[in-house]
Amino acid sequence: MKAEVINPFLESARHVIEQVIQVSPSTGNLGVKEITLVHDHIWIMIGMTGQMSGDIVFGLNEQVALRMVSAMMGGYVLTEMDEMGQSAISELGNMISGNASTILSNQGVNVDITPPQVIRSMNFNDFSMKKALSIPLVMEGIGELDIQVMIS
């Protein structure tokens, strides 16, 4: 798997987070890791088809997701990830992926993305471990968002 495949998603995530959450994230170290279910985490999974196919997964601790959603909603504090929170975090994944698909299109790579699927560790049992190219975005005062790309 080439490291370049993650760049459009990284660039898009940084841009969207700066606009929507008003935080400039810093980039952690790129690596390959197995995606495993972790307690109290949420994953936003988006499928990709076309000239590149696979899955993009944004993984984050539930408390980080709550802080991000609160920032998206102008400071309205959420204490649990309810339907409104899941919808907001899903839309964040959709915005990042849509923006990344535009970047890819501008590079001559045509892809289509699927609607985001929010997966919570507490209610998802059928999860097969896969290796992914992964890079964390660190948002000061909020936490980390892992961008994980599995391109076949």
Q: Is the dihedral of CA 115, 76, 78, 82 positive or negative?
A: negative
The string of pLDDT tens digits covering residues 92-101 is 999 999 999 9
Tell me the whole-structure pTM to 2 decimals.
Answer: 0.88
Instruction: Give the architecture-level CATH label for domain 3-151.
Output: 3-Layer(aba) Sandwich (3.40)
Number of neighbouring beta carbons within 10 Å of residue 93: 25
pLDDT at position 151, please?
A: 82
The string of pLDDT tens digits covering residues 126-135 is 555 678 889 9
- Domain residue spans in the chain? 3-151
Secondary structure class of 97 (helix, strand, coil): helix
